[in-house]
């Protein structure tokens, strides 16, 4: 068994960490990056791009670039329909009514796209650690329902992981933030790219107990970006009469600029957006130039940000605590860098939030710590999480009968006795749902199954025991048993909102088959990046050398640099490696000559070299 790593599979960015002796460390990519954009793209050549390289080409290839896929995980198309216009790619409804993505005439489920991200994280971890990585703890928003958790677990399986646990993000953050000794009460305020969660925890001598959790899976940094994007395009239309929404590329350029402006406004009071040639008007090219102030952004985002406070209030009340009972408030997620968010949190909780953790990394670090608990490295931690939403079954009249109440500690098991609705009924249908509504239609359906072979009897006489069981990952199993005949039937929640077990296995094999191709592709990406750096340095040296040295001193470097430029985008890795080494070595020699000439103010070196050339010339004549 390989090492267990912790993965924060984020809406905007993802992060991975490992634990060495119980102490977690973030895993860096070869470029030194500690987070990876959660972006997947498909090039015109059919290449699969992941992370930073995918995000960089998003403007020129918007329809084939997928971001924020986490918002679609395990969700019905009807649930996410309002987000369809907020993305450049096509969100479609598959045969099961679930949300999916159409790219180049192929429909991908959200777990498939997420698996591509996870597979890249797996490669990064294996390169960093120098060993195979097989096991993972993957985090999810605390308010994810059972289908969304199963979809995340399915994505992990497709990517080649044994998913040891699906862990709530706020809980992971608490594990990484606080020392386990003593008694403390804390709130984790998690405002990420796609979701918001708040969890209230109590820590007593290494036992981390989640007392309550609430959230909104439709509230995140993406929504703040959308508010700003709509305002920018509305202002542009009012000034120029041009509707940028009708363009295929312009909205993506505006969204990228808006996201960047949002980040800059966390550090400055105003920022400029300049997008040249954004459109074409009657008199020619039109540029977008606009100044965004922090005050304007806060006015646009205020309504959304303030929606988090009632959830915080309700979570504290559900935990049977008061505001003054809270010892620490931990901020998680990139959106918590926004000054207005920090101010609102401080005002509500009457204390400054902790600033000692990196909101982009703390969840992955906590997941790695949980991995160390599961592998026995840490024996001083015990985690008691809760299920975020009520679970139950449909009864006569479409009424929801709760079996496990929200905020129940997990793992847990509970049961209720039901009976038949008509005489001599031999079959009952069990419809499992999750949510807080009394009517079943207002909740999320998780699955149905039938219990057959019920003993013949008058209505109300049979005793049918329905058992709900949730494991430590929050994954639900349901069974029903006729206590008279012993007949039993059970289900697990559909693992990925439409993917069967055979589908997951098929996709896992495909992902494994693509792994070698991905490694080769990543090698070329690294080589081409290296080539770009070498070409840049050589060109810089050549510029100086042409002014100060004779042609014979730099001509070979010039030729080899041109050759490297010509083969940079080729498919011959050996030739590319050889060309890089050749240019690097020649550039080193030319750079040394340049240094000698620049430091030789009295010309002595020039005379020496001239004499050396004469002697060499004379020797050659002899």
Q: Could you report the per-residue pLDDT of 161-187, keeping only the tens digit for each?
A: 999 999 999 999 999 988 877 889 999
The Cα–Cα gap between 171 and 178 comes to 11
Question: Among this protein's residues, is 516 annotated catalytic?
Answer: no
In this predicted structure, what is the pLDDT of residue 609? 47
- The CA dihedral of 39, 44, 47, 53, to the nearest 10 degrees, is -40
In this predicted structure, what is the pLDDT of residue 594? 77
Question: Among this protein's residues, is 169 annotated catalytic?
Answer: yes
320-337 residue pLDDT tens: 999 999 999 999 999 999
Across the range 218-237, mean pLDDT stands at 94
CA–centroid distance for 454 within its chain:
47
262-305 residue pLDDT tens: 999 999 999 999 999 999 988 889 999 999 999 999 999 999 99
469-498 residue pLDDT tens: 988 777 788 999 999 888 888 876 654 455
Decide: residue 315, CB within 10 A, 0-12 exposed, 13-18 middle, 19+ buried: buried
In this predicted structure, what is the pLDDT of residue 620? 39
In this predicted structure, what is the pLDDT of residue 500? 62
Contact status, residue 157 vs residue 196, Cβ threshold 8 Å: no
109-123, 414-428, 517-531, 582-596: least confident range: 517-531
In this predicted structure, what is the pLDDT of residue 268? 94
pLDDT higher than 60, residue 1: no
In this predicted structure, what is the pLDDT of residue 496? 44
pLDDT higher than 80, residue 512: no
* Preceding omega of 451 cis (within 30 degrees of 0): no
In this predicted structure, what is the pLDDT of residue 621? 38
Out of 126, 146, 190, 216, which one is annotated catalytic?
190
pLDDT higher than 50, residue 616: no
Tell me the backbone φ, ψ of residue 25, rounded to 5 degrees. Answer: -140, 135
Neighbours of 113 (CB within 10 A): 25
Where residue 571 falls among pLDDT bands split at 50, 70, 90?
Answer: confident
Q: Which of 146, 185, 182, 180 is nearest to 166 (CA)?
A: 146
**3-state secondary structure at position 518:** helix
Where residue 521 falls among pLDDT bands split at 50, 70, 90?
Answer: low
Out of 112, 126, 169, 518, which one is annotated catalytic?
169
pTM: predicted TM-score of the whole model, two decimal places = 0.79
Where residue 614 falls among pLDDT bands split at 50, 70, 90?
Answer: very low
- The CA dihedral of 219, 220, 226, 232, to the nearest 10 degrees, is 120
Q: Kindly report the three-state secondary structure assignment for every residue of 451-484.
A: EECCCCCCCCCCCEEEEEEECCCCCEEEEEEECC
Angle at 307 between CA 305 and CA 310, to 5 degrees: 130
pLDDT higher than 80, residue 615: no
Q: Which of 194, 175, 130, 151 is nearest to 6 (CA)?
A: 175
Output 21 or 137, whichever has higher pLDDT: 137
Average model confidence (pLDDT) for the chain? 87
Question: Among this protein's residues, is 540 annotated catalytic?
Answer: no
pLDDT higher than 50, residue 310: yes
Where residue 212 falls among pLDDT bands split at 50, 70, 90?
Answer: very high
542-570 residue pLDDT tens: 988 888 888 888 889 999 999 999 988 88
In this predicted structure, what is the pLDDT of residue 219? 93
Contact status, residue 93 vs residue 75, Cβ threshold 8 Å: no
Question: Among this protein's residues, is 205 annotated catalytic?
Answer: no
Written as one string, the DSSP assignment of 217-276 is: TT-SHHHHHHHHHHHHHHHHHHHH---GGGSSSHHHHHHHHHHHHHHHTTTSSEEEEEEE
Residues pairing with 209 in the sheet: 202, 384
86-95 residue pLDDT tens: 788 999 998 8
pLDDT higher than 50, residue 590: yes
443-467 residue pLDDT tens: 888 888 888 888 888 888 899 999 9
In this predicted structure, what is the pLDDT of residue 301? 96
pLDDT higher than 60, residue 396: yes
The Cα–Cα gap between 92 and 124 comes to 31
103-117, 363-377, 385-399: least confident range: 385-399
The Cα–Cα gap between 69 and 61 comes to 17
In this predicted structure, what is the pLDDT of residue 101? 94
pLDDT higher than 50, residue 382: yes
């Amino acid at each position: 068994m390989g090492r267990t790593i912790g993965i924060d599979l984020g809406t905007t960015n993802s992060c991975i960490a490992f634990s060495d002796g119980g102490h977690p460390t973030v895993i860096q990519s070869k470029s030194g990056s500690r987070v990876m954009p959660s972006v997947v793209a498909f090039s015109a050549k059919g290449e699969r791009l992941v992370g930073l390289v995918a995000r960089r080409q998003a403007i020129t290839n918007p329809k084939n670039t997928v971001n924020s896929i986490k918002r679609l995980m395990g969700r019905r198309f009807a649930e996410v329909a309002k987000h369809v216009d907020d993305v450049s790619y096509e969100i479609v409804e598959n045969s099961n009514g679930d949300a999916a993505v159409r790219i180049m005439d192929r429909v991908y489920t959200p777990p498939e796209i997420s698996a591509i991200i996870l597979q890249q994280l797996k490669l990064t971890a294996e390169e960093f650690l120098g060993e195979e990585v097989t096991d993972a703890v993957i985090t999810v928003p605390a308010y994810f329902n059972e289908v969304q958790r199963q979809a995340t677990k399915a994505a992990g399986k497709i990517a080649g992981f044994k998913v040891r646990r699906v862990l709530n993000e706020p809980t992971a953050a608490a594990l990484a933030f606080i020392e386990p000794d003593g008694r403390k009460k804390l709130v984790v305020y998690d405002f990420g790219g796609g979701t918001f969660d708040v969890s209230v925890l109590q820590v007593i001598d290494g036992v981390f107990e989640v007392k309550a959790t609430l959230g909104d899976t439709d509230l995140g940094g993406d929504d703040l970006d959308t508010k700003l994007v709509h305002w920018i395009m509305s202002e542009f239309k009012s000034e120029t009469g041009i509707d940028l929404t009708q363009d295929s590329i312009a909205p993506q350029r505006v969204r990228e600029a808006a996201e960047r402006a949002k980040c800059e406004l966390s550090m400055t009071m105003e920022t400029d957006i300049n997008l040249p040639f954004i459109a074409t008007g009657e008199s020619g090219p039109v540029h977008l130039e606009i100044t965004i102030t922090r005050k304007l952004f806060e006015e646009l985002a205020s309504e959304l940000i303030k929606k988090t406070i009632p959830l915080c209030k309700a979570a504290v009340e559900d935990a049977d605590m008061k505001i003054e009972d809270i010892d620490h408030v931990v901020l998680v997620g990139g959106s918590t860098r926004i000054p207005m968010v920090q101010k609102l949190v401080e005002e509500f909780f009457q204390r400054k939030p902790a600033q000692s953790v990196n909101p982009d990394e703390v969840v992955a670090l906590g997941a790695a710590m949980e991995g160390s608990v599961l592998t026995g490295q840490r024996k001083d931690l015990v985690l008691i999480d809760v299920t975020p939403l009520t679970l139950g079954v449909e009864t006569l009249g479409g009424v929801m009968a709760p079996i496990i109440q929200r905020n129940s500690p997990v793992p847990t098991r509970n049961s209720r006795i039901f009976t038949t609705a008509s005489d001599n009924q031999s079959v009952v249908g069990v419809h499992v749902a999750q949510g807080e509504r009394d009517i079943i239609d207002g909740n999320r359906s998780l699955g149905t199954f039938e219990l057959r072979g019920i003993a013949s009897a008058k209505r109300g006489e049979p005793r049918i025991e329905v058992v709900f069981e949730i494991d430590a990952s929050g994954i639900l199993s349901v069974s029903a048993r006729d206590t008279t005949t012993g007949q039993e039937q059970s289900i697990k929640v559909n693992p990925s909102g439409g993917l069967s077990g055979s589908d997951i296995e098929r996709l896992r094999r495909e992902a494994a088959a693509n792994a070698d191709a991905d490694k080769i592709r990543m090698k070329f990406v690294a080589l081409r990046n290296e080539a770009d750096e070498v070409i840049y340095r050589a060109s810089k040296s050549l510029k100086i050398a042409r002014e100060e040295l004779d042609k014979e001193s730099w001509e070979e470097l010039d030729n080899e640099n041109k050759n490297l430029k010509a083969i940079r985008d080729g498919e011959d890795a050996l030739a590319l490696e050889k060309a890089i080494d050749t240019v690097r070595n020649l550039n080193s020699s030319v750079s040394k000559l340049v240094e000698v000439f620049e430091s030789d103010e009295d010309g002595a070196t020039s005379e020496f070299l001239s004499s050396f050339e004469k002697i060499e010339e004379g020797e050659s004549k002899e």
